[in-house]
C-alpha cells in the first residue's frame, strides 16, 4: 500500500556524543528467543519532567561489527500499543540522522531546542501510531568496523533546488506499471484532486485510489512534516485507518 508524499531533506552531519554506558546489542537476545529480556533492557522512561513518556532504544547487529541504532516510540496513551501499526522512519541519505530528523520534524512526543531544552509536543505522529526510527550506518550512534561504509561528514547530500528535478510524471507512470490492487484507478477519471480541509483551514489537495493517496500540501516547502506537522500526521493516520480498516 502506498501513501504518496514527496519529501526532500537537507542532510547535515550529526554531532558526536559520548555514550554513558556500553552499547546494548539486542540481536543475540532476539536470536535466542529472549524477547522479554531484550524489551526490558532497552526500555527507557522519564525523558520529560512529569511526563511518563516510554520508549525503547538499543542496537541491531546487521553484520559482524556493524550495528544500527534504533529508537522505538509506542503510540501515546494507549495500553494496547502492540496492536497498533508501526511507522518505520528512515531518513534519506548518508550523513543525516533519522533520530535527529524525527525529533526536529515532530514525529515523537517531544522536541529538543537548539539550546538543548526538552519540551512536550502535542501533535506528533505518535499520537496515532507507533514510530520506529533507525539510523543509517555511521550516522548518529550507528557504527561499524567495515571500512566500505563511507563517512560523509557535513556534506549536504540533497538540497531544495532539486525539487524541480523530481520526475513526478515518471513516478505516476511507474505506479501505473505495477501490479497492485489500486493500479487500475490511476487510469480513471476518479483519480482527480479534491481539497483537504483540516480545522477550518485548507491543508492541500488529494487524489485517492485504493491503497494510494497522493497529497499536495500547501505552505509546506519541501519538508511537509517540518512546516505542517499537525495536519500531515492527521492525513497519515486517516490513510492507515482507511487502508487497513482499523
User: Higher confidence at residue 97 or residue 246?
Assistant: 97
* Per-domain boundaries in the chain: 2-144, 161-243
User: Higher confidence at residue 26 or residue 45?
Assistant: 26
User: What is the number of other CB atoms lying within 10 angstroms of the CB of residue 11?
Assistant: 21
Answer yes or no: are the C-beta atoms of 37 and 24 closer than 8 Å: no
Alpha carbon distances (Å) from 184 to 175, 206, 232: 10, 18, 26
Does pLDDT of 243 surpass 90? no
Q: How much is the pLDDT for 155?
A: 40
- Of all residues in the chain, what percent carry a pLDDT higher than 90? 14
**pLDDT-based confidence at residue 117 (cuts at 50, 70, 90):** low
**pLDDT-based confidence at residue 230 (cuts at 50, 70, 90):** confident
pTM for this entry: 0.70
Q: How much is the pLDDT for 77?
A: 76
Q: How much is the pLDDT for 98?
A: 78
**pLDDT-based confidence at residue 95 (cuts at 50, 70, 90):** low
Q: Which residue is listed with cell 482527480?
A: 192
User: Higher confidence at residue 7 or residue 82?
Assistant: 82
Query: What mean pLDDT value characterizes the chain?
Result: 75
Does pLDDT of 25 surpass 80? yes
Dump pLDDT digits (tens) for 124-135: 888 888 999 888
- Of all residues in the chain, what percent carry a pLDDT higher than 70? 72
User: Higher confidence at residue 18 or residue 106?
Assistant: 106
Residue 19: CB partners within 8 Å, gap ≥ 6?
A: 141
- For 161-243, CATH gives 3.40.50
Alpha carbon distances (Å) from 219 to 61, 103, 168, 214, 229: 40, 21, 19, 16, 11
Dump pLDDT digits (tens) for 180-224: 777 788 777 777 889 999 989 999 998 888 888 888 888 887 678
Q: How much is the pLDDT for 49?
A: 59
Class at the top of the CATH hierarchy for domain 2-144 = alpha beta
Strand partners, 48: 51
Amino acid at each position: 500500500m502506498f501513501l504518496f508524499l514527496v519529501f526532500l531533506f537537507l542532510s547535515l552531519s550529526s554531532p558526536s556524543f559520548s555514550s554513558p554506558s556500553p552499547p546494548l546489542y539486542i540481536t543475540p537476545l532476539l536470536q535466542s528467543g529472549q524477547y522479554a529480556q531484550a524489551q526490558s533492557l532497552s526500555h527507557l522512561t522519564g525523558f520529560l519532567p512529569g511526563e511518563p513518556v516510554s520508549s525503547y532504544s538499543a542496537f541491531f547487529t546487521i553484520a559482524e561489527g556493524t550495528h544500527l541504532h534504533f529508537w522505538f516510540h509506542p503510540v501515546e496513551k494507549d495500553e494496547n500499543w502492540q496492536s497498533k501499526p508501526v511507522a518505520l522512519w528512515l531518513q534519506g541519505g548518508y550523513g543525516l540522522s533519522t533520530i535527529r530528523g524525527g525529533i526536529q520534524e515532530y514525529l515523537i512526543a517531544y522536541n529538543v531546542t537548539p539550546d538543548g531544552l526538552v519540551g512536550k509536543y502535542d501533535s506528533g505522529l505518535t499520537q496515532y501510531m507507533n514510530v520506529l526510527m533507525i539510523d543509517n550506518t555511521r550516522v548518529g550512534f550507528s557504527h561499524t568496523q567495515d571500512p566500505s561504509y563511507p563517512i560523509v561528514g557535513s556534506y549536504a547530500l540533497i538540497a531544495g533546488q532539486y525539487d524541480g528535478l523530481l520526475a513526478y510524471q515518471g513516478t505516476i507512470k511507474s505506479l501505473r506499471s505495477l501490479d497492485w490492487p489500486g493500479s487500475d484507478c490511476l487510469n480513471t477519471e476518479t483519480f482527480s484532486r479534491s481539497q483537504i480541509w483540516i480545522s477550518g483551514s485548507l491543508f492541500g489537495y488529494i487524489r485517492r485510489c485504493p491503497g494510494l493517496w497522493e497529497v499536495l500540501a500547501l505552505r509546506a516547502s519541501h519538508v511537509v512534516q517540518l512546516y505542517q506537522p499537525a495536519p500531515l500526521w492527521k492525513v497519515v493516520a486517516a490513510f492507515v485507518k482507511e487502508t487497513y480498516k482499523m
